[in-house]
Amino acid sequence: MLGIETSCDETAASIVVRDSAGKAVIRSNVVRSQLDEHAAFGGVVPELAARAHVTYLDHIIAQACREAGLALGDVDAIAATAGPGLIGGVLVGLTTAKALAAALGKPLIAVNHLEAHALTARLTDGVQFPYLMLLVSGGHSQFVLVRGVGNYERWGTTIDDALGEAFDKVAKLLTLGHPGGPAVEAIAKSGDPKRFKFPRPLLREARLDFSFSGLKTAVRLQAEALAPLSDQDVADIAACFQAAVAEVVSVRAGQALARFKAELPEHTPQLVVAGGVAANRTIAAALDKACTAAGATLIVPPIALCTDNGAMVAWAGAERFALGATDHLDFTARPRWPL
Ligand code: KG4
Ligand code: ZN
């Protein structure tokens, strides 16, 4: 399976095969990040992203084939992200996949990007259904119950910013650069996570949703009150922000796992993490604690497969293809496409 991913700022292609024992193997996974193109703007500029996908995608696909030691004509089918995402980029990947499918006479599989994140742990860790997924990236923050391929229930989502987006905005206001998550985590190491008491939005409510914009505002007001900020102020604010989101995420994970146990008592609770924020050690440690307390298993795939990549799209395509699900060449790209 060839998998193509272009829904945000990574141009990616991968070939995933099954070995003679039927086990899935990633034969190549080429990702070209556009960080440099967008750095000066402090965030992803959709038009620039789409243009860069146009420039690089053909080369990335050729490289994925070369590294896999396969010709394009050897693949059984072609999978591409068809949404949700920045529509210009999605169109580049999906249209390229359609062209290849038409020219090679191969089936097309239009993959939901969220489904690709949701199924990755089955490729990397052989996780069995059902499981709870926590997707925390720059564009999404949600809990999804994954019962099977194509069988998803969203249990909670953010009502404003995504968690990665909150990290990016806090980094921007502390002038730490983009992407903000790694920068906030790095500087938080030398900060005092108890100096400021930032809010834990929605935490008292029973719902499994997130809200991060109020927290971001509290961070901004604190930064303005202290201005000009010393290096220690910046580190302390970063540490307190990170402590607040880690607490929110782990409390919510505990609540989601409690619901899992109540609704699926015959299954061991499993929590799978996806998205770039999974790289954050403080958040991962908080999730680990929540899972231990709930008697649940925590699965964190290798971070290169938690962030956007082609292998997750190829794998989701392979899972759907194995069930006979292919798509027509007139499949329309979807900027919004809830699971
Ligand atoms: O999944 P991803 O690579 O791309 C999409 O958003 O689809 O996630 C990127 C997001 C960015 O917002 C970035 O700041 C955040 O993940 N991130 C982190 C860390 N590494 C990346 N957030 C917190 N801590 C990190 N170490
Ligand atoms: Zn993603």
Question: Atom 18 of ligand 1 has which residue's CA nearest to it?
Answer: 181
Residues 151 and 288 reside in one and the same domain: yes
Question: Atom 19 of ligand 1 has which residue's CA nearest to it?
Answer: 181
Is the shortest distance between the CB of 85 and ligand 1 below 6 Å?
no
Whole-structure pTM value: 0.95
Residue 264 in domain:
yes
Residue 334 in domain:
no
Ligand lying nearest the CA atom of residue 179? 1
Residues 77 and 166 reside in one and the same domain: no
Residue 149, burial from CB neighbour count under 10 angstroms (0-12, 13-18, 19+): middle
Q: Which of 322, 303, 284, 306 is nearest to 120 (CA)?
A: 306
Residues 74 and 170 reside in one and the same domain: no
Alpha-carbon distance of 285 to 298, in angstroms, equals: 11
Instruction: Give 165 Cα–ligand 1 centroid separation in angstroms.
Output: 8
Whether residue 267 is annotated as binding a ligand: the answer is no
Residue 333 in domain:
no
- E-assigned strand segments in 91-148: 108-112, 131-136, 141-148
Q: What is the ipTM of this complex?
A: 0.98
Whether residue 117 is annotated as binding a ligand: the answer is yes
To test ligand 1's pocket by mutation, which of 81, 137, 158, 170 has the most ligand atoms within 8 angstroms of CB? 137
To test ligand 1's pocket by mutation, which of 167, 187, 287, 305 has the most ligand atoms within 8 angstroms of CB? 167
Is the shortest distance between the CB of 181 and ligand 1 below 6 Å?
yes
Whether residue 112 is annotated as binding a ligand: the answer is no
Report the Cα 91 to chain-centroid distance in Å.
19
Largest alpha-carbon pair distance within the chain?
63
Q: Are 71 and 31 in contact (CB under 8 A)?
A: no
Report the Cα 48 to chain-centroid distance in Å.
21
The side-by-side arrangement of strands in the sheet containing 131-136 is: 151-157, 141-148, 131-136, 270-274, 297-299
φ/ψ region of 128 (left if φ > 0, alpha if ψ in -120 to 50, else beta) reads: beta
Alpha-carbon distance of 21 to 133, in angstroms, equals: 28
Is the shortest distance between the CB of 164 and ligand 1 below 6 Å?
yes
Residues 6 or more apart whose Cβ sits within 8 Å of residue 246: 280, 282, 283, 285, 286
Residues 278 and 239 reside in one and the same domain: yes
pLDDT tens for the 339 residues of the chain, in order = 999 999 999 999 999 999 999 899 999 999 999 988 998 887 899 999 999 999 999 999 999 999 999 999 999 999 999 999 999 999 999 999 999 999 999 999 999 999 999 999 999 999 999 999 999 999 999 999 999 999 999 999 999 999 999 999 999 999 998 889 999 999 999 999 999 999 998 988 889 999 999 999 999 999 999 999 999 999 999 999 999 999 999 999 999 999 999 999 999 999 999 999 999 999 999 999 999 999 999 999 999 999 999 999 999 999 999 999 999 999 999 999 998
Query: Domain holding 196: CATH number?
Result: 3.30.420.40
Residues 112 and 200 reside in one and the same domain: no
Residue 327 in domain:
no
Is the shortest distance between the CB of 279 and ligand 1 below 6 Å?
yes
Domain with 147 in it: 129-300
Residues 60 and 157 reside in one and the same domain: no
Residues 216 and 156 reside in one and the same domain: yes
Length of the chain as a residue count: 339
Structural domain count of the chain: 2
Residues 284 and 316 reside in one and the same domain: no
Q: Which residue has 């971001």 as its token pair?
A: 216
Residue 124 in domain:
no
